[in-house]
Amino acid sequence: MVRFQLIKLFCHIFTLVVLTLIFGCAGSAPKGDRNFESQFKKAKIFLSEKKFIRAQEEFHLLVLKASHTDIGDDALFYLGESYFLNKEYPLAISQYDRLIRKFEFSSYVEQARWRICGSYVAESPKYFHDQSNTNRALEKIQEFLDDYPNTKYREGAQKTILGLRAKLGMKLYEVGVLYIKLRAFDSAIIAFENMLDNFYDTPYTGLAHVGIIRCHSEILEVEKAQEYLESKKDILSVKLQSEAEQYIAKAHKRIEKAKK
């Protein structure tokens, strides 16, 4: 009987200890979570007030301390936002990349990937500089559209692609113009043809065609210039046709003058 009572007492004590531990842990976790929630709200207020450095400090602490909680992906995404909105694009990209790797099923992943695209676009320089970031932006946007064909950002992405392609087309067109100034007409033709092969859907298509006609005219390849013009009349504006005809006319005059 005594033995039975001791066993019963031990079971009772064990049960109390287990319940204490359970309720103790359950009681402390929400309190910590409430502290994280409060800090997260404060950080978002800093962000809305454009106090980006303060927001970055708060979100960074949350990323370190609360990554295991429900707001772990929120904190990491908004840390990226605090850099993006402050135009610190390389740092923003690194945080969005961390989010995508660490929380691959987060509801923020699509938005983070679109922000990465936007960061590369923002880092894309004027056409006369190196265009590595422009090409990277195009690559990222195309990957994004492939993975999210029905995204709400689709229209913006397509417009951005056109803008970036126009910049790259302009760069190649200006290379051709530079060769003309250097009187390296064969090289200019190659540059214009490259532009037409790769960026045929840009506003510089007509100009590149006229550039080719000009180059043929400059080296007195009048027949080639005329044939080229005839083949492009359907797509050239009246103004560009007139300009091309003037180059051909000048070439004819030079030929006639040389005969005298």
- Are 105 and 72 in contact by the 8 Å Cβ rule? The answer is no
Structure-token pair, residue 176: 């051709």
Q: Please answer whether residues 94 and 120 qualify as being in contact, where contact means their C-beta atoms are separated by less than 8 angstroms.
A: no
What pLDDT is stored for residue 23 in this prediction?
40
- What does the alpha-carbon distance between residue 15 and residue 155 come to, in Å, rounded to a whole number? 61
Distance from chain centroid for Cα 203: 21
The CA distance from 143 to 100, in Å, is 14
Would you tell me how many other CB atoms lie within 10 Å of the CB of residue 137? 25
pLDDT at 260: 72
- Token digits for 224? 């080639």
Looking at residue 259, what is its pLDDT? 79
Distance in angstroms (rounded) separating the CA atoms of residues 187 and 192? 9
pLDDT of 34:
62
> Tens digit of pLDDT per residue, the chain (260 long)?
444 444 443 444 444 344 344 444 444 444 455 688 999 999 999 999 999 999 999 999 999 998 888 899 999 999 999 999 999 999 999 999 999 999 999 999 999 999 999 999 999 998 889 899 999 999 999 999 999 999 999 999 999 999 999 999 999 999 999 999 999 999 999 999 999 999 999 999 999 999 999 999 999 999 999 999 999 999 999 999 999 999 999 999 999 888 77
